[in-house]
Every structure is written in C-alpha cells, then in structure tokens.
Amino acid sequence: DGGITQSPKYLFRKEGQNVTLSCEQNLNHDAMYWYRQDPGQGLRLIYYSQIVNDFQKGDIAEGYSVSREKKESFPLTVTSAQKNPTAFYLCASSTGPPGELFFGEGSRLTVL
C-alpha cells in the first residue's frame, strides 16, 4: 500500500544533541512537508520541498534543517539550536497545490 512512513515513532534526546527524523513516501508525490504540532495547537509549517534538491523555509524553520536528495525521502534534523524541540512532528506529501496533504503517523520527540 502507498503511504508515508515516519521513524522513529518515539524519540528521546538530551539537550544539546541533534536528532534526525526520517520520512519516506511511495506515493510518487513531488511535494513534501514537515509540520510541528504542540499540545492544544494546530500544525505549523517547518519546511517544505516542491521538488528534489529544492526546499523552502516555512513559518518556524529556525533550529531545523532538511534535505531532499531523493523524491521519496525528506529527513528533518532538529538541531541543538532549536530552543524548545519537544513536540509531535508530522511529515506530509501532496501532488501539488492545492491538493490535500497525505500524512505519516508522526514522530514524538521529547527532550530530557
């Protein structure tokens, strides 16, 4: 079945460490996204990529980095510069605007 796979589902990190969240899709979608969700809040866009080897900052990109070397993969690195990284991270893809987003099951990051 086609879909989006995020890993790990749960991740614990010590302060000062970088961590990379994986996102893989087999939907053949050009566009991929990373969102952050905090308790009681909606989703906020971190980064998005319209096509391979290209990506743009979203609304809250500071402290995060991404790469898009393959169409299927869009990993997110949460760096030590991110001041409040504990959150639920959702990866998504779409065929392009204004199409709906297809989401993975999310990765919950906790900084100890």
Kindly tell me which of 16 and 84 has the beta carbon lying closer to another protein: 84
Q: Residue from 1, 2, 41, 54 that binds another protein (CB under 8 A)?
A: 41
48 binds another protein (CB under 8 A): yes
In the complex with another protein, the residue whose CB is nearer, 58 or 80, is 58
The only residue of 56, 69, 70, 81 in contact with another protein, by rule CB under 8 A: 56
Beta bridge partners, 21, equal 76
Contacts for 14 with CB less than 8 Å, ≥ 6 apart: 111, 112
DSSP code at position 98? T
Identify whether the C-beta of residue 84 lies closer than 8 Å to the C-beta of residue 60.
Answer: no
Longest dimension (CA), the chain: 38
**Residues of this chain that bind another protein (CB under 8 A):** 31, 33, 35, 40-45, 48, 50, 56, 58-59, 88, 90, 92, 97-98, 100-106, 108
